[in-house]
Amino acid sequence: NAGVMQNPRHLVRRRGQEARLRCSPMKGHSHVYWYRQLPEEGLKFMVYLQKENIIDESGMPKERFSAEFPKEGPSILRIQQVVRGDSAAYFCASSPQDGFSYNSPLHFGNGTRLTVT
């Protein structure tokens, strides 16, 4: 059973370009979470999605950032007009349809490291 797959592993963008980060959840999981990890920091929650729905985006910056989880295909985190401060590791996690619990914690991908030059 493949784990949470994120790609690309590394992404380099120049200031002003767009960054697209992809996440395929574990098989059978329909809930996806995106977290951002700044250097020497813990993971900070950004957005929680179910298929075709954004459930909680309280951690998303108000501008330039968007996320989707279509009926078919991976979840996408999109950052428009990137700036140097967007440089970070972006992690995706997934959980089963009935939500994650003590017995079914979040499963994380290996992250995408975004570098903005």
Residue 116: enclosing H or E segment and its boundaries?
A: strand 112-116
Residue from 62, 84, 85, 99 binding another protein (CB under 8 A) = 99
Q: Tell me the sheet residues that pair with 71.
A: none
CA atoms within 13 A on the CB side of 60: 19
45 lines the binding site for another protein (CB under 8 A): yes
Residue from 25, 111, 114, 116 binding another protein (CB under 8 A) = 111
85 SS3 class: helix
Inter-residue contact 78 to 66 (CB < 8 Å): yes
Question: Using CB under 8 A as the criterion, what x/- string covers residues 17-36 for binding another protein?
Answer: --------------x-x-x-
42 lines the binding site for another protein (CB under 8 A): yes
Residues numbered 57 to 96 that lie near another protein (CB under 8 A) are 59, 89, 91, 93, 95
Long-range contacts of 41-48, Cβ-Cβ distance < 8 Å, separation of 24 or more: 43/91, 46/77, 47/77
Q: Enumerate binding residues for another protein (CB under 8 A).
A: 31, 33, 35, 40-45, 48, 55-56, 59, 89, 91, 93, 95, 98-100, 102, 105-106, 108, 110-111, 113
